[in-house]
Structure 1
Amino acid sequence: MYDIFNKKWKGMRRVRDAVVGTTVGKVEGDSENGVYVWRGIPYAEAPKGDLRFIRTRKIKPWEGVREAKNFGFCCPQPNHKNADMDEDCLTLNIWSPCADRKRRPVLFFIHGGSFAGGTGSEDAYNGAYLAGYGDVVVVTCNYRIGILGFLDFSFLGQGCDANCGLFDIIEALRWVHDNIDAFGGDPDHVTVFGQSAGGTATSVLATLPAAQGLLHQCIVMSGGPTLLQGKEEGQRTAQCFLEFMHIDTPEQLREIPAGKLAGTQQAFCSACGLGAGTFRISVDGGLVPDYPIPAAAAGAGQGIPMLIGTTREEMSFLHIPPLAKIIDIGGIMEAGVSHEDEACRECIPKAYQERYGKRRGKTMMLTDMVFRMGSVWFAQTRSLRNDVWMYRFDYETAAMKVSGLHTFHSSDIPFVFGNFGAGMGKLIFLLTPSVKKAKKVAKEIQDDFLAFARNGKLPWKKCTQGSVPAKCYRRECAVMPMVEPAILNQYESTHFKKTSFSSCAGK
């Protein structure tokens, strides 16, 4: 067993390097903390040149044994300090207790980053602990992001497609389906779990005809089932980018070095006025026929159990003054209720202020508008035809309390992966003299995720249209309403809820 705080394996021998045959060639892995690991396995052709803005192409076979001991390039993006970047970024990483023919559950993770940044090789997503502790196979992948992955240039002609990054994820899942048994995994037992943008992608994948048969359970972590865009909106943003770059033809677009494109990303996000919402999955009427909630209402993705959750105060990082100024919390809140009638514009903020106080009421309202309400409505809708459970991450360390961040966006990642010395884990335990309680909470959430991956079931009450119980991970875990009824009721007659349930395919 692995000690997640002292980083020591107990009672496990070091494994030898592993050479595994796949449908496209052999790969040689390595060992890490008592499990096998294969890094940087290409799952698709490099999306360069004429392939830059089109749907993913299958990887061509190779001769001999390909070394898979180092992570692959991450997709070009601004300000990424810990990885080399290149367009040849479509690789995945696998952690497995053993490369044998035992068919273990597979946990396939999709990283977040607002579809603008991130990589599957980040230390926070290292799958060694989870694979060893749970006797499962863990997979992470890179996919195209930002300008390269989530701008819809399809109006330029056949040389461009919408949702290139989502095509990448589906191709990675297809590679896993075809090859994971050689790594000790069960291709008929794949749980997709994703966080933030990865959670949004997960909520979409469960409804897509193109992904059917490639995933069998889903865990949506802080995703946004309502945070997609219509086809016209997506193409307007792409057209805005062409004007921003003074580009007239697809040839000019493909000739610009990828690093230069990535270097313009932040300036473009500011110029187009969309900020963190610039890059989104498009409801294009092709790969993505509809938004997740109306798609689920129409019966898409039947037979896929789902666990959906958020942290309690996703947007509390906006209590940090510099971020609040940059992101304009007041402007976001005003925009969030701008389509509502006068009564709603007054009642909704008032309900939050009465329940949480003036300061926390603002960020709790944003948390619900961006994450929790959409997640609840998605859970309620899917519950008509599928088993759905909810969870909420409420646990706070001393540093989280003192800073005023509380259970902010991504603070659950260290608890899920068990990597407390990486990413957010370095910060949230700074003032914690004893980690006994944290270890207990980490084990609780890991055991639930692993149980769900094994059998698609959880021991607390499922969601229904009229009830959304959630297991709340805190010092003493408890099942309670995902959103307080008094708050939930405020949204019943809102324009926000109405549009979240409206089908808008191809628009």
Structure 2
Amino acid sequence: QRPVLVYIHGGAYNTGSGSSAVTDGARLSAHGDVVVVTLNHRLNAFGYCYLAREGYPDSGNAGQLDLILALKWVRDNIAHFGGDPSCVTVFGQSGGGAKIATLMTMPAAAGLFHRAFTMSGQQVTASGPLNAMRRTDAYRTALGLDTPPAHAFASMPVQHLVEALQTADPVLGFGSIYFGPVLDERHLTRHPFYPDAAPQSLAIPMMIGNTRDETRGFTGADRSLFSLTWEDVPERLAGAMRIDVLPERVVEAYRQLYPAYSPSDVYFAASTAARSWRGALIELEARANARAPAYAYQLDWRAPAEHGIFGAPHTLDIALVFGNLEASTFIAQRTEAGEAMSRTMMDALLRFARTGNPGWAPYTLPQRATMIFNTQSRVENDPRRAEREFFARIPYVQPGT
């Protein structure tokens, strides 16, 4: 029987699919002689709209319950596909990693997986029930509903339900409405990593990683971010960091840390550290404090697209761990360097799936051992220490909650 790797897709809790070309499991399965499972589940309002007041107490975590049902199916059936139900690794990127962090504190998920590997996806806190209700009310208003939404939803065209997802979020004050796991005291009775790592999953080895240049992957069509001036940076940085700190102070600190950085370099580095990296560090520190097995990585390998301007952006590690380089817009072709980086990351994941150890020292305090994946990969203690210490002074708020 082979180790089983169950991939949970990203796209926050709002979009995404387990059926995309970049997550095709054929190459990973063949390379490691493992069984790879991908899946889909209910998203956005269909999976996380909290309707407890209307008599649907499970609704705020329906998407998570889909994942639990899928893992139960794996437990009961994967042996027929040559998989070992006692050696199941869940792995996911971005929202997929956040979903895994949430599963690690849900009692119904206990015992359904034995390793957890999250890529650029953290969930320190869930949405509180009162904020979740505010979002339900805003969504109902956007749909033009005066009656209790649970009953009216049943007869409303799906297209209308999808269009209303673009309504402004009443809690955040910016962006479209957020739906995600809810602290409902029923299926989710505590936050995933607050005030500590969930006790039910401390025995499960966990691998937590991020890319060095996460926010370079969020530029979309806005190429002005690659040619910012020093006057531009504070205003653009204020919204991108998702924390309450004077952006001018952040710019000053980064210019001292990295004198050679351009304005755009500072923007991407600071927004990555504040928005994406902080959650990973909190989870790693919580696991280390509990003496639970945790392993850290940072992907530094520069994607070749457009002469490397994206660095190591958000989503880059998906193509590398699946071996589907040509399916990533940041890689787009198979090269010797890309193949080598992909093999290195696949081998780390496969070793972790088999043994619970990817091949380097666990994350402990104060050492903070971290694998730096690059052309010449290496283990480094406490990488970007000055950045970590700077942002550690500022309260972290889980995006969306």
Q: TM-score range by the shorter chain?
A: 0.7 to 0.9
Secondary structure at 2:216 match in 1: helix
Shift of the 112–189 alpha-carbon distance from structure 1 to 2, 3 Å rule, reads same
Secondary structure at 1:169 match in 2: helix
Question: Please, what TM-score do these two structures have when normalized by structure 2?
Answer: 0.88
**Residues 1:301 and 2:207 are matched in the alignment:** no
Ranges in structure 2 where 5+ consecutive residues have no aligned partner: 226-234
Shift of the 269–492 alpha-carbon distance from structure 1 to 2, 3 Å rule, reads closer
The one-character-per-residue Cα deviations of 1:268-315 (angstroms, maximum 9, x if unpaired) are 569984426712222222211222222644623121000000111111
Greater CA radius of gyration, 1 or 2? Answer: 1
* Structure-2 residue corresponding to 1:365: 270
* Structure-1 residue corresponding to 2:45: 147
Shift of the 214–400 alpha-carbon distance from structure 1 to 2, 3 Å rule, reads farther
Residues 264-343 of structure 1: matches in 2 within 5 Å? 264-267=164-167, 273-275=173-175, 278-294=178-194, 296-297=196-197, 299-319=199-219, 322=222, 329-333=236-240, 336-338=243-245
* Structure-1 residue corresponding to 2:100: 202
Shift of the 459–346 alpha-carbon distance from structure 1 to 2, 3 Å rule, reads same
Bigger relative CO (Cα 8 Å, ≥ 6 apart): 2
* Structure-2 residue corresponding to 1:121: 19
RMSD over aligned Cα, in angstroms? Answer: 2.6
Query: Structure 2 counterpart of 1:286, which letter?
Result: R
Aligned equivalents of 1:277, 1:365: Cα separation in 2: 25
Aligned equivalents of 2:196, 2:223: Cα separation in 1: 35
Secondary structure at 1:291 match in 2: coil
Deviation at residue 460 of structure 1 after TM alignment: 1.3
Aligned equivalents of 2:170, 2:316: Cα separation in 1: 27
The one-character-per-residue Cα deviations of 1:161-184 (angstroms, maximum 9, x if unpaired) are 211111111111111111111111
Higher fraction of strand: 1
The answer to whether the 8 Å contact 1:237/1:278 transfers is yes
Identity over aligned pairs, percent: 29
The one-character-per-residue Cα deviations of 1:436-465 (angstroms, maximum 9, x if unpaired) are 121111100000000000010122121113
The answer to whether the 8 Å contact 1:240/1:272 transfers is no
The one-character-per-residue Cα deviations of 1:66-96 (angstroms, maximum 9, x if unpaired) are xxxxxxxxxxxxxxxxxxxxxxxxxxxxxxx
The answer to whether the 8 Å contact 1:299/1:385 transfers is no
Deviation at residue 187 of structure 1 after TM alignment: 0.8
Deviation at residue 397 of structure 1 after TM alignment: 3.2
Shift of the 286–136 alpha-carbon distance from structure 1 to 2, 3 Å rule, reads same
Question: Please, what TM-score do these two structures have when normalized by structure 1?
Answer: 0.70
Higher fraction of helix: 2
Query: Structure 1 counterpart of 2:253, which letter?
Result: A
Ranges in structure 1 where 5+ consecutive residues have no aligned partner: 1-102, 501-506
* Structure-2 residue corresponding to 1:191: 89
Deviation at residue 116 of structure 1 after TM alignment: 1.2
Deviation at residue 406 of structure 1 after TM alignment: 1.3
The one-character-per-residue Cα deviations of 1:181-201 (angstroms, maximum 9, x if unpaired) are 111111111000011100101
**How many pairs align?**
384
Secondary structure at 2:17 match in 1: coil
The answer to whether the 8 Å contact 2:8/2:96 transfers is yes
Aligned equivalents of 1:267, 1:400: Cα separation in 2: 34
Query: Structure 1 counterpart of 2:164, which letter?
Result: T
The one-character-per-residue Cα deviations of 1:101-143 (angstroms, maximum 9, x if unpaired) are xx21100000001211111111111111111111101001100
**Residues 1:407 and 2:305 are matched in the alignment:** no
Residues 9-48 of structure 1: matches in 2 within 5 Å? none
Shift of the 300–467 alpha-carbon distance from structure 1 to 2, 3 Å rule, reads farther
Shift of the 482–410 alpha-carbon distance from structure 1 to 2, 3 Å rule, reads farther
